[in-house]
Structure 1
Amino acid sequence: MMFTYEIFLNYIKDNKTTFGILLCQMETHAFQQGIMNSVQSYIQSIIPGLSDKCEEQYIYSFMMHGCLNIIVDWINNDFNIHSHKLAEIIYHVCNVILAEPVSDAETSTANIK
């Protein structure tokens, strides 16, 4: 999976002008949202059972916005780290998020002070 991330990141780097316009400008918010929706659908298809939980929308939103913003920062910083390293960062951060389930006790509104 991490190799796939690296291929995608290299594609972004090779097409930096296009992705700089599509990902780094407010006028292209619809495109950015489309990418996030596509990735979310893909994640839901490869990790069955996650789409049934109410809190999953927030987990997906956090992951998608976080990953997109990491890529935007990478573009804005003129690709200052190697695509392999960035792929590792994205891969490991997403795995940590998915590996730590949110328990019902932690999400209960009764525990909010």
Structure 2
Amino acid sequence: MKYNMKGTSYMQIYSGKLVIDLATIVESDEEKVMKNNAHEALSSELMQELRVILGAAGYLAGSVGATLEKVDNVSLSDHSIIKSFVEQSKKDVYQVYNKANRSTFRIE
């Protein structure tokens, strides 16, 4: 913490970017349909949830968004890795929400 000339303290702000590489699996269809399906779960509600989780950890998240592009030359192992991660995450998601959504209730 730094101090000004009068001896009172003030805080510093750090600003930067959080980088997350995303991948998802969509069934083959027309290019536009596949692109829509790839972005389907990236709703404004999800973006708000990400802001809340980051806020609970002490960060202000400005704009949050995502752009996904089709990947050529995908291997079977890529598909397996994504599918496995998604399945495990669905099992673990409640632990994340319990940490981020702590609430204190006063019952009178």
Normalised by the length of structure 1, the TM-score is 0.30
Q: Which has the higher helix share?
A: 1
Higher relative contact order (CA 8 A, sep 6+): 1
Bigger-Rg structure (1/2): 2
TM-score normalised per structure 2: 0.31
